[in-house]
A and B are shown apart, each in its own frame.
Chain A
Amino acid sequence: MNENKSVTGDTGAQNGHRPRHVAGSIALALVSVSGVAMVLSPLHDRISTTTAALSLMLVVIVVAAQRGLAPALAASLAGMLAFNFFFLPPVRTFTIADPENWVALVAFLVTSAIVGQLFSLAKRRAEEAVDRQREIQGLYADLQEAFDRAARAEAERQAERMRNALLDAVTHELRTPLTGIKVSVTALLGDYADSRGDEANLSGEDRREMLSVIDEEADRLNRYIGNLVDLARIEAGRLPIKRSWNAPGEIAADSVERVRVRRSGRAIHLATAADTPTIFADGRALAEALFLLLDNAVKYSPSNAAIHLSVYAAAGGAVEFAVEDEGPGIAPELRERVFERFFRVENSGPESVVGTGMGLPIARGIVEGHGGTLRIEDRPGASGTRIVLRVPVGDDDPAESSMRDSASLESA
């Protein structure tokens, strides 16, 4: 034991633990064997030597299975001695009268040693299997973590790519009108400086052209910034929606008028069904959403083609506004993507199309703010795009009106 202790002290708990553990097991094995032998020995003339041998063998097996090889061998040896002493005649001596019993004794020893070894082997295998399982579980956890890390890194890379694409789009949309303004202003300034030396080189018409570009590009910048703000509000879920009772036909007419102001010369056919109910909605916001849809239709269809806007009551207590154009249509696989911010279908329109990729996302944001939907369909029986804006008729929501009441109470 002293030796064990010194080993423990030198090489740490794990190494030192094992011999002590084994010594304890051997002691336990010896106690078990002698216990069973003691219990059975008073009955030695009533039970057969086979029963006694099997009982002792059982102890060896249990020890082997529980404690391993060394205790099992100790138990075998002790079992053999006990078998000889207590059960082989003449009992209570280590002498053996009948030579046949020598065979029994040796057979007992060999059998119990082999059985002990087998069981201890089985035990070790089981332990190893548990260890391996633990190891595999550890590996699996490591692998899982590695996969998770890789997936996270990929997601971050994608987000980064997305951010860069957005930044590129915004940069392009802001710098292009700025360039028009900057070039015009510097050309006018240069001309002004020259004109003081009587060398003016821009005609009155030229100057007017440059000033109108400045005017238009300033408006374009302002619209773009307005769109950015709308989009940011929609994404933050803070688009203000001021509901009241509106006639859908009036909303549609307002949106058509907005298109006429911005893009003269395009025929938009508006048809409102007579039975269309009034809706509880933010009329100005819906008109803006419809304007964005119509503007898209104008931009992405031939300049001589007609555009249709029809308004009608739909099943399920809703009103639908359907915008149809005779353009190239939108491929089914892109019908969801066009609602992503800054997404633009490549080469989809005539040369001069200037899109920002914000119209449809804003329109959808407004419509969803009303609990409605925007969907893209094929035009029935014709080429082109059909976009349907659907909003529920709505109701003077009691929860909302009570909130309004409490708000007015607070302000009072």
Chain B
Amino acid sequence: MERRQRILVVDDEPQITRVLRVGLNGRGFDVRTAADGESALDTFSDWSPDLVVTDLSMPGDVDGIELCRRLRKRSQVPIIVLSVRDDERTKVAALDEGADDYVTKPFSMDELLARVRAALRRGPAPAVEPHGVLEAGVFRVDFEARAVSVRGEAVRLTPKEFELLAYLIRHAGKVLTHRTLLTAVWGGNYGEQVEYLRVFVGHIRKKIEPEPGTPRYLLTEPWTGYRFEPGE
């Protein structure tokens, strides 16, 4: 029998860890919990979970953002951040430090489970430089020819549009902040040029979306960034 997938839940609120333990257990996951960042790092070392779900505001030296930072130094494990804050900056900071996705409290079990499944499906991000051909959903990226096709139909892209779309497809399902995208495609000096990004996203949508006004693949995460869903 296949090993049950392991999820480490980190939250200083005992009631939250209680319900998440029971809820995720019931869905066939193996769950351990930690009440602060330091013990989460210990459990991570001993137990090697497949996914980490962590709160952002926690007592001690290692809060949620710091936990993301330290986990990323040693692992590509998917991280989902839980936050009660409406504060976009905290969320964006966590994503910039390596979190893959976020869920705002209060959330439903279904929503969390959907995010958990998506993160586990995606698995650890490929660390190597892309080469050859990548197929994701209805998209096919040929990195050698620098060409993208949707449902077998070639898309005409400028070089920058190709880089942006290829980056989005490579990190499909993950929330990518404005800063991450700008830095990846344009370089560190463009980290604040969100308007730039909007223009390019608009162009790409016109080329790949059946209805650019209501995008299906290149989705906006309000105030935060973008997420790519490659379709079936």
Contact = CB atoms under 8 A, between A and B. Distances in A.
Interface of A: 168, 171-172, 175-184, 186-187, 190-191, 201-203, 206, 209-210, 213, 216-217, 346-347, 351-352, 354
A contacts with B: majority SS: helix
Contact of A210 (B22, B28, B59): B22
Interface string B33-77: 001100000000000000000000101100000000000000000
Contacts of B20: 183
B19 A183 contact: yes
Given A172-B57, A201-B28, A213-B15, 11 more contacts: A168-B85, A175-B105, A176-B105, A177-B15, A179-B107, A180-B15, A182-B107, A183-B19, A183-B109, A209-B22, A352-B12
Given A216-B15, A347-B59, A191 B26 contact: yes
A21 to B, nearest CB: 66
A175 B107 CA distance: 10
B27 interface: yes
Contacts of A206: 22, 25-26
Contacts of A171: 84-86
A172 B25 contact: no
Given A186-B110, A201-B27, A346-B59, A179 B16 contact: yes
B7 to A, nearest CB: 14
Nearest to B84: A175
15 contacts: A175-B84, A176-B15, A176-B16, A178-B106, A179-B106, A182-B106, A184-B23, A187-B22, A190-B109, A201-B28, A206-B22, A210-B23, A216-B15, A352-B12, A352-B14
Contacts of A190: 109-110, 113
Interface residues of B, number: 30
A63 B49 CA distance: 102
Interface in B163-206: none
Contacts of A186: 108-110
- Most chain A CB inside 10 Å of its own CB: which residue of B25, B26, B113: B26
B18 interface: yes
The 8 closest A-B pairs by CB, nearest first: A186-B108, A179-B106, A187-B109, A182-B106, A187-B23, A186-B109, A179-B105, A180-B15
Interface of B: 12-16, 18-20, 22-23, 25-28, 35-36, 57, 59-60, 84-86, 105-110, 112-113
A195 to B, nearest CB: 11
Contacts of A182: 106-108
A182 B107 CA distance: 7
Contacts of B23: 183-184, 187, 210
B110 A213 contact: no
Contacts of B14: 352, 354
B108 A347 contact: no
Contacts of B106: 175, 178-179, 181-183
A179 B84 contact: yes
Contacts of B84: 171-172, 175-176, 179
A191 B25 CA distance: 12
A177 B105 CA distance: 10
B20 to A, nearest CB: 7
B102 to A, nearest CB: 14
A347 B60 contact: yes
A184 B108 CA distance: 8
A294 B113 CA distance: 41
B18 A209 contact: yes
Nearest to A180: B15
Given A175-B84, A352-B14, A184 B59 contact: no
Contacts of A203: 26
A178 B110 CA distance: 16
Contacts of B59: 346-347, 351
A355 B22 CA distance: 25
Contacts of B86: 171
A172 B109 CA distance: 19
A76 B140 CA distance: 109
B103 to A, nearest CB: 10
B230 to A, nearest CB: 26
A352 B36 CA distance: 10
A202 B22 CA distance: 8
A217 B15 contact: yes
Nearest to B39: A351
Contact of A187 (B12, B19, B35): B19
Given A346-B59, A347-B60, A352-B14, A202 B105 contact: no
Contact of A351 (B26, B35, B108): B35
- Most chain A CB inside 10 Å of its own CB: which residue of B35, B60, B84: B84
A357 to B, nearest CB: 14
B107 to A, nearest CB: 7
A210 B13 contact: no
A235 to B, nearest CB: 25
A53 to B, nearest CB: 86
